[in-house]
Amino acid sequence: MRTLCFGEALVDLICRRPVSSLADADAFVPSPGGVSANVAATAARHGAAVALGGGAGDDPWGAWLRDRLAAAGVDLRWFGLAAGCATAVAFVTVDERGEPTWQLYGDAIAATVDALAGRLLDAVTTCDALFFTSNTLVRKAEAQLTMAARERALELGRPIVFDPNLRLQRWRRNPGRAAMAAGACVPGAFLVKCNQAEARLMTGESDPEAAAASLLAAGAQHVIVTRGVGGAILRAKGMRLDVRAQPAKLLRSTVGAGDVFLGLLIARLGQTDYYPSALAAALPEAAEQAARACERWGALE
């Protein structure tokens, strides 16, 4: 089954040494970035059929990004370079604990919408499953497009994987609006994967177990809540699994670790026609791959 990953692609310029602020950085190395691009590339590298629906600017950085996604094995028939758009670039610094800070320039979502140019619903129809995040829900036009794609997938009986990936700065620090938009994507989803903070924001439950139960009650078929060093839990009707976090041998950066985690799950789901038990079977491997990602500076390094 081919999964369509709809969303942003950008260039991460990463300072490959721990610093306390952007002002302390002295050099940056480019790496492909953006949640949807990272998930698609990770899934493709693990043997899945996966397409990226989106775009970048028609400029040298856009061509650089496209070439690296193609080299990873991502199907780019619904990925384009939008004329008049600049490819979004994020300067990324990492502190001593491996925690990143991003300074974003450009609009990756605008390039995504422009590059698709009315082709998104055709892409959903042609593919066998859909993945998206809340990053394309912030503004009205992109939110309408995203929800139309979701509705088409539901009408066709396509499995939907939703990662809230809530970045409150995109929502002008309005957590209520962000939670409402993300919550509207839960009913009918095959899988909702979120971290503990996102689960609390969406459900009001601070306990991951209670949050997972609330998301299932809201209509998700399967829920994964990641808990950082506490590992992850998988909950569904008749399915219950806890996995421990795998330690990184040498912690460099957590940039994209969650994307790698989800990309591995999508790879294994796609290879088994989204057989539900594949989630439980793949969860320990996903945790291990996320740990390996933390040993790199970038998700796709």
Q: How confident is the model at residue 62 (pLDDT cuts 50, 70, 90)?
A: very high
Q: How confident is the model at residue 103 (pLDDT cuts 50, 70, 90)?
A: very high
DSSP 42: H
* Structure confidence by residue, pLDDT tens digits, 145-163: 999 999 999 999 999 999 9
If 0-12 CB within 10 Å is exposed, 13-18 middle and 19+ buried, where does residue 157 land?
exposed
Average pLDDT along the chain: 95
76-97 average pLDDT score: 94
46-55 average pLDDT score: 97
* Whole-number pLDDT of residue 229: 85
* Whole-number pLDDT of residue 173: 72
> In angstroms, rounded to a whole number, what is the distance separating the alpha carbons of residues 252 and 84?
36
The pTM (predicted TM-score) of the whole model is 0.95
* Whole-number pLDDT of residue 300: 85
**Lowest-pLDDT range, 41-50, 166-175, 247-256, 272-281?**
166-175
* Whole-number pLDDT of residue 12: 96
241-256 average pLDDT score: 92
235-242 average pLDDT score: 95
* Structure confidence by residue, pLDDT tens digits, 171-192: 887 899 999 999 999 999 999 9
208-214 average pLDDT score: 97
- Structure tokens belonging to residue 107: 């609009």
**Lowest-pLDDT range, 1-5, 40-44, 46-50, 107-111?**
107-111
- Structure tokens belonging to residue 104: 């974003």
> In angstroms, rounded to a whole number, what is the distance separating the alpha carbons of residues 194 and 133?
10
Q: How confident is the model at residue 168 (pLDDT cuts 50, 70, 90)?
A: confident
β-strand pairing of 232-236 with 222-226: antiparallel
Long-range own/partner contacts, residues 147-156 (CB < 8 A, 24 or more apart): 147/184, 147/185, 148/120, 148/121, 149/6, 149/120, 149/121, 149/124, 150/185, 152/121, 152/124, 152/125, 153/124, 153/129, 154/188, 156/124, 156/125
CB 153 within 8 A of CB 190: no
The count of other CB atoms within 10 Å of the CB of residue 173 is 9
* Whole-number pLDDT of residue 292: 94
> In angstroms, rounded to a whole number, what is the distance separating the alpha carbons of residues 301 and 299?
6
> In angstroms, rounded to a whole number, what is the distance separating the alpha carbons of residues 238 and 232?
17
> In angstroms, rounded to a whole number, what is the distance separating the alpha carbons of residues 224 and 276?
13
Percentage with pLDDT > 90 across the chain = 86
- Domains along the chain? 2-293 (3.40.1190.20)
Q: Is the pLDDT of residue 70 over 90?
A: yes
> In angstroms, rounded to a whole number, what is the distance separating the alpha carbons of residues 116 and 120?
6
Give the strands of the sheet with 49-57, arranged side by side. Answer: 79-82, 49-57, 2-6, 129-133, 160-163, 191-195, 222-226, 232-236, 239-243
* Whole-number pLDDT of residue 167: 86
* Whole-number pLDDT of residue 151: 98
* Whole-number pLDDT of residue 169: 82
CB 225 within 8 A of CB 232: yes
